[in-house]
Chain A
Amino acid sequence: MPKRIAYYPGCSCEGMANEYDQSTRALCKVLNIDLVDIPDWNCCGSTPSNSYDPLLGAALAGRNLALAEAEGFDLVMTPCPSCLKSLKTAIKVYNDQKQDFAHLLNMPFSGKIKVISVLQLLYEEVGVEKIKERIKKPLTDKVIIPYYGCLLSRPPEFAEFDDPENPVSMDELLLAAGAKVPDFPYKTECCGAAYGVTINNIVGKLAGRILDMAQSLKTDAVAVACPLCQQNLDLRQSQVNRFCHRNFKIPVPYITQLIGYALGIDLKELGIHKLFVNADNLFKETV
């Protein structure tokens, strides 16, 4: 019997991070996890609604959880750390301001539902050992650097996952997949986040530092688990190169793509061809 989990893709997985969505679904299928899209899901509120009115933003995210509860789920998974934050915030705000929240939401909601990231699903629900047993195409000799970004493990009382300052979940998953994983000091440094849209040079500087450190460790790829990190490191890599006068060509695949490949999933199904920096050097075959 496959494990049934409610799935919240969020907006980036429908657009920019389409390959994250594809690879997450393909990976879960192989791991015998039945992802059920939350019916009629809506925006998690993201930055705009939360900066305008935190309660309203929480209720907006909370609607998705209420819908999942109505379908009988007690666990929601989302690949995007930012969506994860919004959904978890909804539960926190619900617990702090039950009456106001319930009034806005106008739907039955218990607040008992749990929300996790896809990384947390792989690391805690499935487990490194289970994944290791099923590796078909190990990433042998590939040096892969895990980059967690700011949200996956922090703030600790919120993320409730991994060591806040020295997370190791992706390290262990990549090691299980056969890759070489050097100790990466910039695991949780800022990638520049949304400054990619407004003050591009900040991303140039910050993402540049991360790529520079990765390059110095002779990496073949930087693994990520966040659509925004991926965007700044992959899509904007040419902009970073221009800003830093460098010539980085470091592929930035999602952790789900790498684990998916190691578990024997077809590269096309994982959306490898949708990465901006070509990742062919990582794999034995091409799309």
Chain B
Amino acid sequence: MRIGVFICKCGTNIAKTVDTEAVARKALEYPDVVYATDYMYTCSEPGQEEIREAITKHRLQGVVVAACTPRMHEPTFRRAVEKAGLNRYMFEQANIREHVSWVNNDRESNTLKAMDLVHMAVEKLRLNHPLFSSKVPINKRVLVIGGGVAGIQAALDCSEGGLDVVMVEREATIGGKMAKLDKTFPTIDCSSCILGPKMVDISQKENISLHAYSEIESVSGYIGNFKVKIRKKATYVDWNACTGCGECTQKCPSKKTHDKFNEGLGSTTAINIPFPQAIPKRARINAESCLYLTKGKCRKCEKVCPADAIRFDMEDEIITEEVGAIVVATGYDMFDYSVYGEYGGGRYPDVITSLQYERILSASGPYGGHIVRPSDGREPKDIVFLSCVGSRDASVGRPYCSGVCCMYIAKQAIITRDHLPDCNCYVSYMDIRSPGKNYDEFVRRAQEEYGINYIRGRVGKIYPKGNRLIVQGVDTLMGVQMDIEADLVVLATGLEASDGARELAEKLRISYDQYGWYMESHPKLRPVETNTAGVYLAGVCQGPKDIPASVAQGSAAAAKVLVLFSRDTIETDPQVAFVNERVCISCGKCIEVCPFGAIQWKTLRDGSQKAEVLPTVCQGCGLCNATCPPKAVQLQHCTDDQILAEVNAVCE
């Protein structure tokens, strides 16, 4: 084989701590290497051109590039060698940036390590042979997980683009957190007025099928051909029959049920419709508080239901949907305010979360939009808003900024002053973060036009005095202690990964960071892709963001799906397992260990049974390769011989 080696300097990223020229010189000593050089930016157009020219000029049969991680530019270089007439798998990449120059400053040892890595790549390349991908058809249906504003946007855009959409929502209604908000910043436009029509669209589009009150049970398959099992949780109401008339909710005697939609303010009935604009507008029985399901007596709803829709014997049902791509838009949860014992959240009824305050402000909320205290229904005269409750605080494991609280506090304070002009609003803040279009102007208006008192500092304690609350803290600009008597305290609770986010990620085989936020494929250049092909991200599940950003990401994810589906087939990766039938002893161990069900029996003409890999299902994990006793199964492009050749090179 005639091999060419190209060492990238990556500007100074690599060249600063690796002697690339020496590495190139050394490479010429390795077997089969006929050409070696270093270059400023190998990934650039002239850099790629140089590879192509060298292939022609030196009649190269294989190429090694020592540069950044293959995760970054392997596809780039594969395309480059392919353009020059080589098979794209006659290419190896040695990572001398992330694995060498970025992690150590010692030039001498770095250079030696870079040489070793290049040597390994050369030895591996010597055992490579051309591989060819096959084509599989794409199932042009898309699954959207999560029916908040990001998921709704992604679903509607896909639907507009002519795709069949399956939407799965964990709660009994779509709308997510945005449906709970009263108004939105910085325009103070009504949240349900702008979200409502989109929710209705979801229910009315013929190519969108909505599974509300359902969760993802398992995901198998691969890009273009996913198989998703969905658990439709028992609602005890036949949603095909239910008309959403609400008759049952009027008669249900179990009236002390926790009202999840209203964030626990007030209570609801055991059979309920979350809110009047719910989509789907269907009743559901809360099994934990239903008198019949807990104590065996009642069945009032069954008697009054004009549609005979009540089904007390309903059980969870598992259905299977086949899709070609998945958009994950699972959103977030609010930080648990009781973690701060000193603020008394959960102990004092008038210390509430910002989302509870949204429900208080909302005309469809528990108090009909009148601002009153949860404890005694009195109008507050003084309200304190506390920023950063569960944000930017390493001591509670939340060192990140939630990004939206500064803005929603300003919004809530402005709305408060509109409703109750005599109510004093105080905002205790650490810093004001308002970097968005018209955002800082909005906060300024809160301070200057609406007379909201912004106090920089931190609150250390909240305690009751009579029927009011004392908010004790520090004003760091004045350098004094402050004690504010308040009627209501709103904690600007931060955002955290939604409950169950990690479990779902494991089902989807996508990664998440230490806080449970889903990882995008590249923080700048691939913000909606994941590292699992065919799975895309939208909204807060990827990290805190506000409504405009969530909507933008929802549309971006939809665009990615439409791009994927613009072709009829996708090329499969040929780096999969392959069975050498002459060596196979038909023990079946590979079939047992394969997590993807990608290996099956094949009957030969002589009637003997041998293992066979389905290349479109195989994910190239290598478990079968490691398990096979006679090593008949080999992972293409990463065979045992290749690994041993690399080990030999590094141990030389």
Identify the A interface with B (CB < 8 A): 156, 163-166, 183, 185-186, 216
| B347 with A164: CB separation less than 8 A | no
Q: Give 19 pairs: A residue, B residue, CB < 8 Å, sorted on A.
A: A156-B395, A163-B341, A164-B341, A165-B340, A165-B341, A165-B342, A165-B461, A166-B341, A166-B342, A166-B344, A183-B347, A183-B463, A183-B464, A185-B461, A185-B463, A185-B464, A185-B470, A186-B463, A216-B465
Number of A-B contacts (CB under 8 A): 19
Max chain A CB contacts within 10 Å: which of B344, B395, B463? B463
Q: Chain A contacts of B461 at CB under 8 A? A: 165, 185
User: How many whole Å from B543's CB to the nearest CB in chain A?
Assistant: 28
Max chain A CB contacts within 10 Å: which of B341, B347, B395, B465? B341
Q: Chain B contacts of A186 at CB under 8 A? A: 463
Known: A165-B342, A166-B342, A185-B463. 10 other contacts (CB 8 A): A156-B395, A165-B340, A165-B341, A165-B461, A166-B344, A183-B464, A185-B461, A185-B464, A186-B463, A216-B465
Chain B, residue nearest A189 (CB): B461
Q: Chain A contacts of B464 at CB under 8 A? A: 183, 185
User: How many whole Å from A1's CB to the nearest CB in chain B?
Assistant: 38
User: How many whole Å from A215's CB to the nearest CB in chain B?
Assistant: 13
Q: Which 9 A-B pairs have the closest CB atoms?
A: A185-B463, A166-B341, A165-B342, A165-B341, A163-B341, A166-B342, A185-B461, A165-B340, A183-B347
Max chain B CB contacts within 10 Å: which of A156, A163, A164, A166? A166
Q: Chain A contacts of B463 at CB under 8 A? A: 183, 185-186
A183 to B341, CA, bound (A): 12
Question: What 1/0 mask marks residues of chain B from 463 to 495 whose CB sits below 8 Å from any chain A CB?
Answer: 111000010000000000000000000000000
User: How many whole Å from B382's CB to the nearest CB in chain A?
Assistant: 18
Question: What 1/0 mask marks residues of chain B from 425 to 467 whose CB sits below 8 Å from any chain A CB?
Answer: 0000000000000000000000000000000000001011100
* CB proximity to A under 8 Å, residues B63-89: none
User: How many whole Å from B466's CB to the nearest CB in chain A?
Assistant: 9
Q: Chain A contacts of B470 at CB under 8 A? A: 185
- DSSP class of A's interface residues: helix, strand, loop or mixed? loop
A287 to B480, CA, bound (A): 47
Q: Chain A contacts of B347 at CB under 8 A? A: 183
User: How many whole Å from A253's CB to the nearest CB in chain B?
Assistant: 23
* CB proximity to A under 8 Å, residues B325-381: 340-342, 344, 347
A166 to B341, CA, bound (A): 5
Q: Chain B contacts of A163 at CB under 8 A? A: 341
Q: Chain B contacts of A165 at CB under 8 A? A: 340-342, 461
A156 to B341, CA, bound (A): 13
A164 to B465, CA, bound (A): 22
User: How many whole Å from B30's CB to the nearest CB in chain A?
Assistant: 49
A74 to B342, CA, bound (A): 34
A165 to B393, CA, bound (A): 15
A79 to B587, CA, bound (A): 69
User: How many whole Å from A186's CB to the nearest CB in chain B?
Assistant: 8
Q: Chain B contacts of A183 at CB under 8 A? A: 347, 463-464
Question: What 1/0 mask marks residues of chain B from 130 to 157 whose CB sits below 8 Å from any chain A CB?
Answer: 0000000000000000000000000000
Q: Chain B contacts of A164 at CB under 8 A? A: 341
A163 to B395, CA, bound (A): 13
A3 to B522, CA, bound (A): 59
A165 to B464, CA, bound (A): 16
A166 to B395, CA, bound (A): 15
User: How many whole Å from B461's CB to the nearest CB in chain A?
Assistant: 7
Q: Chain A contacts of B395 at CB under 8 A? A: 156
Q: Chain B contacts of A185 at CB under 8 A? A: 461, 463-464, 470
User: How many whole Å from B344's CB to the nearest CB in chain A?
Assistant: 8
A156 to B344, CA, bound (A): 18
Chain A, residue nearest B348 (CB): A183
User: How many whole Å from B115's CB to the nearest CB in chain A?
Assistant: 41
A173 to B401, CA, bound (A): 39
User: How many whole Å from B465's CB to the nearest CB in chain A?
Assistant: 8
A156 to B340, CA, bound (A): 13
Chain B, residue nearest A155 (CB): B395
Q: Chain A contacts of B340 at CB under 8 A? A: 165
User: How many whole Å from A163's CB to the nearest CB in chain B?
Assistant: 5
A165 to B395, CA, bound (A): 12
A23 to B461, CA, bound (A): 33
Chain A, residue nearest B463 (CB): A185
Max chain A CB contacts within 10 Å: which of B461, B464, B465? B461
Max chain B CB contacts within 10 Å: which of A164, A183, A185? A185
User: How many whole Å from A187's CB to the nearest CB in chain B?
Assistant: 9
A216 to B466, CA, bound (A): 9
Q: Chain A contacts of B342 at CB under 8 A? A: 165-166
Q: Chain B contacts of A166 at CB under 8 A? A: 341-342, 344
Chain B, residue nearest A163 (CB): B341
A185 to B341, CA, bound (A): 11
A185 to B347, CA, bound (A): 12
A185 to B460, CA, bound (A): 11
A186 to B340, CA, bound (A): 15
User: How many whole Å from B96's CB to the nearest CB in chain A?
Assistant: 38
A164 to B347, CA, bound (A): 16
A164 to B343, CA, bound (A): 12
Chain A, residue nearest B466 (CB): A216
A183 to B348, CA, bound (A): 10
A156 to B339, CA, bound (A): 13
A43 to B347, CA, bound (A): 42
User: How many whole Å from B342's CB to the nearest CB in chain A?
Assistant: 4
User: How many whole Å from B176's CB to the nearest CB in chain A?
Assistant: 32
Chain B, residue nearest A184 (CB): B463
User: How many whole Å from B652's CB to the nearest CB in chain A?
Assistant: 42
Question: What 1/0 mask marks residues of chain B from 382 to 418 whose CB sits below 8 Å from any chain A CB?
Answer: 0000000000000100000000000000000000000
A216 to B464, CA, bound (A): 11
A163 to B344, CA, bound (A): 12
User: How many whole Å from B393's CB to the nearest CB in chain A?
Assistant: 13
A165 to B465, CA, bound (A): 18
A202 to B102, CA, bound (A): 55
User: How many whole Å from A57's CB to the nearest CB in chain B?
Assistant: 27
A164 to B461, CA, bound (A): 12
User: How many whole Å from A159's CB to the nearest CB in chain B?
Assistant: 13
User: How many whole Å from A82's CB to the nearest CB in chain B?
Assistant: 23
User: How many whole Å from A92's CB to the nearest CB in chain B?
Assistant: 19
Q: Chain B contacts of A216 at CB under 8 A? A: 465
A165 to B459, CA, bound (A): 13
Chain B, residue nearest A164 (CB): B341
User: How many whole Å from B337's CB to the nearest CB in chain A?
Assistant: 13
Question: What 1/0 mask marks residues of chain B from 309 to 320 whose CB sits below 8 Å from any chain A CB?
Answer: 000000000000
A26 to B422, CA, bound (A): 59
Q: Chain A contacts of B341 at CB under 8 A? A: 163-166
